[in-house]
Amino acid sequence: MEKIWDVKMERIENMSLIEAILSYKGIYEKKDIEEFLSDKPQRTYNPYLMLNMDKAVEKIIYHIERKSKIVVFGDYDVDGVTGTTLLVEFLRNLTNNIDYYIPNRFSEGYGLNKEAIAYIKDTMKADLIITVDNGVSSFDEVEYAIKIGMDIIITDHHNPPDKLPETIVINPKQNNDNYPFKELCGCAVAFKLAQALKIRLNNLPGDILRKSLDLVTLATISDMVPLIDENRTFVKYGLKMINNSKRLGLSTLIEKAGLKDKCINSGRIGYIIGPCFNAAGRIEDAKLGVKLLMETDKDKAKYLADILYNLNIQRQKVQEKGEENCKRLVEDKYLDDDFLVVRSDDISEGVIGIVAGRIKDIFYKPTLVVSKGSEGYLKGSGRSIKGINIYEELKKVSDLFIGFGGHEMACGFSIEEENLNELRERLNKRAKEIKQKDPYIFIPKIDVITTMMSNELNIDLINQLSKLEPYGIGNPKPLFLMKNINVNKNFTKECGSNNTHLKLSAHKDSIFLNGIGFSLAQKYKELGSPDVIDIIFTPEINEFNGKITVQMIIEDIKKAL
């Protein structure tokens, strides 16, 4: 697939690469540069700037003083599991009358439901529910909880609907909320609630909140919120905690994943650790994740870590099968569509979101993947491409859904079987309108910071670039352009188990260059195996047999003009 190289900046004379990157990010002021590059960032905000925070704190203290039972109601993903753990652990410093509830993805679905509320009231004997990472759209369920005599506090970070539940809602995205940073994950919103309680009570240990930054970091990275502003502060401190983890369950899982004594960065959390917690909710029961994070017994922690790790392996197999089925369906039936709507009832409900993301990546089109739900109707999940707000597009066809929700890049919905074809037709009609306005929107773009000279590529540069970490959404690893590289054809070769990768040996201006281009061997051949190429890459340190060298991780290649 051809890609557009979007070079963001022309180098100004004497401008370093770090200065170019910061300039592109809009960071110019000395204090902002120091904050961004600092190993100990300070950017954080008073939790009481959040709308209704004072009311939530007083309501919790009221129930603690009455010795009421409090139940934290979480979600079944990493964000919900970590946020539940955080609030339960924090509130245990204030009361023994605390428990948690996480709904089952398959039998209950996302968020509050009346059956669970009745169970929490009648069986768990609770008087107060505090939600984490859910609830902002649960108008009817909150109304029911209040009707049966319960108090309920909503903490959430999802886009709120026009009509909010008639209770205390903590969500920085709601109207009239003055909190300066809106992009917190659900666990971070729970952290701000705990922070507000600590300020109000003023009699808790000083490090009580710092201990939970590992949880906030797991959630912030895994939930793919932007790693900027206050999130950057959380994650910088949280990664230090994770790399010196005193949380037995987490360190046991890290060891099980083969990462003991390795630096745990945002990539390893996002691609290895986070998916293990998500797999519990996708395949079995998310409560396993909470139990592991709270576990203090070594043998039990090992038992739970083994389960989560193996569930993730199982999830990968289920996902791969689903990807193959959907890819085949698209190639056979929907290749000319601009908005992919693919039904495959063989896909587990727990992985349709991941499969939608993979199909979107393969074809670079907004994608909905649908499967038959246990309730009898269809359930779907969607992922979008840059420039198309999938949530807004679904709003335009909302008359077809039983229910839907989401944000700019992802969505979830339920729909009757007879409405699926009309959904496909209407979304594709809309996609054609979008394409007429922007003919390039369905061509993937690679954001390139600027051009790098061959003499700049060294270990010192990589050490400087490391100060830009942690990388992730909102702060991607910077990509650079290097032009007119001379390929050493005697040493450039295909590699990997299926010879799909390109091992590049090259030189420019008398400087030798080495790189690896994953899944680029075929493209190099299709270009005619040119002698001179342009590449987009990110530099990394490569360690092999005790030898440290600089290596280019190649994102894309073109024949030099």
Same domain, 466 and 360: no
Return the CATH number at 188: 3.90.1640.30
Same domain, 527 and 403: no
Cα separation, 351 vs 330, whole angstroms = 18
242: in domain: no
Same domain, 365 and 494: no
Q: Provide the domain count of the chain.
A: 3
Check whether 227 has a pLDDT greater than 90: yes
Tell me the per-residue pLDDT of 271-322, one tens digit each, with 9 for 90 and over.
Answer: 999 999 999 999 889 999 999 999 999 999 999 999 999 999 999 999 999 9
Three-state SS at 184: coil
329: in domain: no
Q: How many CB atoms lie within 10 A of CB 175?
A: 9
Q: Span 506-521, mean pLDDT?
A: 95
Complete DSSP assignment for 68-112: --EEEE--SSHHHHHHHHHHHHHHTTT-S-EEEE---TTTT-SS-
Contacts of 277 (CB under 8 A, 6+ apart): 77, 78, 81, 82, 218, 222, 286, 289, 308
Same domain, 423 and 488: no
357: in domain: yes
Residue of 480, 495, 473, 486 lying closest to 540 (CA atoms): 480
Q: Span 124-140, mean pLDDT?
A: 96
Which of 206, 238, 263 is the endpoint of a domain? 206
Which of 383, 408, 437 is the endpoint of a domain? 437
Same domain, 140 and 49: yes
Prior bond of 41 cis (ω within 30°):
no
219: in domain: no
Q: Which residue has the tokens 């924090």?
A: 90
Q: Left if phi > 0, otherwise alpha if psi is -120 to 50, otherwise beta: which for 68?
A: beta
288: in domain: no
Same domain, 66 and 194: yes
Residue of 2, 104, 31 lying closest to 442 (CA atoms): 2
Q: What percentage of residues in the chain have a pLDDT greater than 70?
A: 100
Q: How many CB atoms lie within 10 A of CB 267?
A: 14
Same domain, 46 and 187: yes
Element (H, E) at 193: helix 186-201
Q: Span 442-461, mean pLDDT?
A: 94
Joined tokens for residue 124: 């768990």
**Mean per-residue pLDDT over the chain, rounded:** 94
Joined tokens for residue 419: 């409405």
Q: Is the CB of residue 215 less than 8 Å from the CB of residue 293?
A: yes
pLDDT of residue 407: 79
pLDDT band at 202 (very low <50, low <70, confident <90, very high): confident
Q: How many residues does the chain have?
A: 561
pLDDT band at 2 (very low <50, low <70, confident <90, very high): confident
Q: Span 484-509, mean pLDDT?
A: 95
Three-state SS at 43: coil
Element (H, E) at 341: strand 340-343
Same domain, 424 and 460: no
pLDDT of residue 62: 98
Same domain, 186 and 59: yes
Same domain, 420 and 470: no
195: in domain: yes
Q: Span 153-171, mean pLDDT?
A: 94
pLDDT of residue 162: 87
Return the CATH number at 496: 2.40.50.460
Q: What is the pTM of this model?
A: 0.91
Q: Is the dihedral of CA 464, 466, 470, 471 positive or negative?
A: positive
Joined tokens for residue 40: 């100990």
Which amino acid, 441?
I
Which of 437, 467, 487 is the endpoint of a domain? 437
265: in domain: no
Print the domain residue range for 486: 449-559
Same domain, 50 and 178: yes
11: in domain: no
Same domain, 496 and 375: no
